[in-house]
Structure 1
Amino acid sequence: MRWTVPNILTVVRLIAAPLVGLVFLLLPRPAADWAALLLFLFASLTDYLDGWLARKWGQISRFGAMLDPIADKAMVVIALAVLLGLHGISDWTLIPVSAILFREVFVSGLREFLGETAGLLKVTKLAKWKTTVQMVAIALLFGWGLFDHYFIMQTFGMSPEIVTGILTGEIADDVGLIWKYYGLIAVSYGGLVLLWIAAGLTLVTGWDYFRKAMPYLRESP
């Protein structure tokens, strides 16, 4: 094993994965929310950076190839578990999260079973898009927690009474305040929409991998 910069970034991302959950035990909110969001953004950045640097500097290694998908899956699984805890279990969150987790376990099992032939399940462009949408969705959903609990009342100075006034139409003359509120709502719920899109892409790519593996799963005559 070589301790190259790409490999170090991958190891740091793997270490950051459990910290996304542990910060809620170690820090009070909203500090924990900020820490989880920043850790996840950092991990998402290194997910792109380590592969790019490995190719650019000719530092692709078996250790990095093995650890990179493990770090990615650890980050996503732990982040989704934390988000379920923060936002509660509902149809709008549990269904896409279950689809994403099912696919990750299923494809990992396929690769383990195929062993040396697992190379046929190479990452496709659609799978890369899935990962990108997934990362953006999770980041926005961490922001949703900050928005729900802290942005309205503290950062943006919106009391519960002001929010109620906007929703009931009693506050209709402060256009700036109204646009600010609904802009934040759009960003927050955008994360939920992207999570569903990511779940759909997850199932499509999972089926594609299964289809490619089928010839190797048939019993010999």
Structure 2
Amino acid sequence: MTWNLPNILTVLRLIAAPGVAILFLYFQRPVADWVALILFITAALTDFLDGYLARLWKQESKFGAMLDPIADKAMVIIALVIIVGLSTADKLVMDAWILLPATVILFREVFVSGLREFLGASAGMLKVTNLAKYKTTVQMIAIAVLFAKGVFEHHYLNLVQGMDAEIYEGVMAGTIEDVNGVVGYAQFMNGTWTVGVVLLWIAAVLTAVTGWDYFAKSLPFLREPKA
């Protein structure tokens, strides 16, 4: 194992993955939302930086090649669990728009990891494709946008705090003049959430496609020998 800057960045990204979840245990919102968003974006940027530096400085290593996809999966999976939990915290039912793409992503990651483990030495032919790299990028952007919505939501609650329910309904319905930019901010906040959900669905489709591609490539190694 070689300790160089690219590998250190990868290790830090792996540590940051559970750190995002732990923040919500020890910090109240919106502080937790802010810190989680900053930590996640910073860690996501290291995903590009560590590989770039390793290639630039010719410091590519087996340790980095092994740990990099693990750190990516840990970041995405833990962040998705948090987002699913936050999106349903004040509801009686699960949010299908978040739960379904999150389920696809989680299932694929578990399936492909199990496939690689089963194939053992033959798993080398399941190399990370460019499409798989794109799906990871879209996943991280989607998660960052969804985390950002949590930050905007708390600012929105501060805007409407103390506002009479009748006045609030009138403002939102357009029958009363907008107060503190509530309507515009609500549209911005909801738009952010919509963009995040759309990106998450795109990521889920890319994730499913790459999962099927890996499965198709593994089929020759899964067939039973002829008698």
Give the TM-score normalised by the residue count of structure 1.
Answer: 0.91
Match of 1:16 in 2: 16
Aligned AA (1:206)? G
1:203 to 197, 204, 208: 208
Contact 1:20-1:40 at 8 Å conserved across structures: yes
Q: 1:170-220 CA deviation, whole Å, 9 max, x = no partner?
A: 24678x764443233212221011111111111111001100111111111
Instruction: Give me the whole-angstrom Cα distance separating, in 1, the residues matched to 2:74 and 2:171.
Output: 40
Partner of 1:62: 62
| Deviation of the 1:27 alpha carbon | 1.1
Q: String of CA shifts for 1:123-179, please: whole Å, max 9, x gaps.
A: 22221111111111101111122222x12133xx344557634431224678x7644
Structure 1 residue 90 displacement after superposition: 2.0
Partner of 1:142: 147
Work out the percentage of aligned pairs sharing the same amino acid.
59
Question: Pairwise mapping of residues 43-62 of structure 1 onto structure 2 (< 5 A)?
Answer: 43-62=43-62
What is the aligned partner in structure 2 of residue 151 from structure 1? 155
- Matched AA of 2:220: P
Q: Deviations over 1:78-113 (max 9, x none)?
A: 101111111113211111111100000001111111
Structure 1 residues not aligned, in runs of 5+: none
Give distance in 1, aligned partners of 2:138 and 2:67: 22
Q: Is the 8 A contact 2:146 2:192 kept in 1?
A: no
Superposed, 1:154-169 pairs within 5 Å as: 154=158, 157-159=159-161, 164-169=169-174
Tell me the C-alpha RMSD between the 2 structures.
1.9
After superposition, where does 1:25-174 map in structure 2 within 5 Å?
25-88=25-88, 89-148=94-153, 150-154=154-158, 157-159=159-161, 164-171=169-176
